[in-house]
Structure 1
Amino acid sequence: MTETHHECPDLDRLLRLIGILGSPADPGFWDRWQTEDGGYGFKKIKAGIAQLAQPADERHSYWARDFADYVLMLFATETPEEERKLADEIGRHITSGSHMAVGTQFLADLRATAWQVWRDHHGVDSAAVIRQWGQVPYPGERS
C-alpha cells in the first residue's frame, strides 16, 4: 500500500490530525461536534478538505489558508469551561487513557499546526518585508 502525503508538510500534518478524530462516515466525534447551526462546522471542514483534494494550482495557497482559518475558528473556545469540555470530548473520543491530557495536547497541536499552515500560505517573503521596511524613513525623518 502506498502512503499518500500532501506536498506541504504542515498541511499534511493538519489533515492527519483531523483524521485522528475519525472518519466522518462513522458514528462518533463528527456526529456530536458542531451540530448547531445546521452542521456549519462539519460543512466547512468537508468543503475545505474537498478543495485541498484538487490538483495544486494557483489557488492552493488560498485554499490552504482558508481551511486553516476555519480550523482555527471552529476549534476555538471562548471560556475555560468550553475549553475543558472540548478537550474532554476529544480526549474521550481518541484515547482510553487520560482524556483531558490527550485532548488538551491534541487541541494545542491542532491549533499550532493550523496556525503554521495559515501563516505559511500567505505568500509574504522576508526579502519583500526587508525591502519595504528599508525604504521607509524612521519617524522624525519623514518629510
Structure 2
Amino acid sequence: MDAPAHDCQDLDRLLRLIGILGDPALRGFWDSWRHDRDGYGFKKIKAGIAAIAREDGMHDHWAHDFADYVLMLFARKTPEEEAELVLQIGRHITSGDPQAVGSQFLADLRRTAWQVWRDHQETDAATVIQQWENAPFPWESEKWKALRGE
C-alpha cells in the first residue's frame, strides 16, 4: 500500500525532491553522498523522514528539524565544493546536462527546505502580536534606562 501524500505541500515537495535522488537501498546518490562523514547525512535524512512519519503531535517540530538538517547537509562553504555537489547531483538524476539540472535541483531543494523550515515554526502570529503588544517601549524599560546609565 502506498503512503499518502503529506498534507503540507512544501513538506510533500521536499520529500519528493529527496526521492528524486533515488532509493537509499540501491547504489546511487546516497551511497556516495557525504561519504567523508561516515554516513552522517544519510543517518540524519533517514531519522528526519522517520520522525515526520510519526503521528505524535510534534509535526511542526519534526518538519522544522528535518528542513534544518536538509539546509545544513546540502550547504557548501566554497564555490568549488558547491560546483562539485551540483555535478554529483546532476550526474545521478539526469543523462542530460548535469550542471544545469543539478543547479536547478539544488536551488529547488534549498528553497523548499527553507519554506518548510520557515512555515513549521512553533511560534504563531498571534503569539508574536501579543509579545510585541506587551513589550515596553525603550523609554519605559528599566533595562534601557540602565543601559543609558540613568
**TM-score, normalization by structure 1:** 0.90
Query: Could you tell me whether the CA contact under 8 Å between 2:61 and 2:122 is conserved in 1?
Result: no
Structure 2 vs 1, CA of residues 2 and 45 (structure 1 numbering), >3 Å: closer, same or farther?
A: closer
Residue 77 of structure 1 aligns with an amino acid whose one-letter code is R
Query: Could you tell me whether the CA contact under 8 Å between 2:52 and 2:63 is conserved in 1?
Result: yes
1:87-140 deviation line (CA, Å, top 9, x unaligned): 111111111222111111111111111111111111222222122112223333
Superposition map of 1:1-143 within 5 A: 4-54=4-54, 56-142=55-141
How many residue pairs get aligned? The number is 142
Gaps of 5+ in 1: none
Identity of aligned residues (%): 65
Q: Distance in 2 between matches of 1:28 and 1:100?
A: 18
Gaps of 5+ in 2: 143-150
Q: Distance in 1 between matches of 2:86 and 2:124?
A: 35
Larger Rg: 2
**Displacement of 1:141 after TM fit?**
4.3
**Displacement of 1:33 after TM fit?**
0.2
Q: Distance in 1 between matches of 2:53 and 2:133?
A: 40
Q: Distance in 2 between matches of 1:60 and 1:36?
A: 31
Q: Distance in 1 between matches of 2:33 and 2:2?
A: 31
Residue 92 of structure 1 aligns with an amino acid whose one-letter code is R
1:41-90 deviation line (CA, Å, top 9, x unaligned): 11111111112222x23222211111111111110000111111101111
**Displacement of 1:26 after TM fit?**
1.2
Q: Distance in 1 between matches of 2:36 and 2:132?
A: 45
Is the partner of 1:140 in helix, strand or coil? helix
Structure 2 vs 1, CA of residues 87 and 53 (structure 1 numbering), >3 Å: closer, same or farther?
A: same
1:4-24 deviation line (CA, Å, top 9, x unaligned): 201111111110000000001
Q: Distance in 2 between matches of 1:21 and 1:95?
A: 10
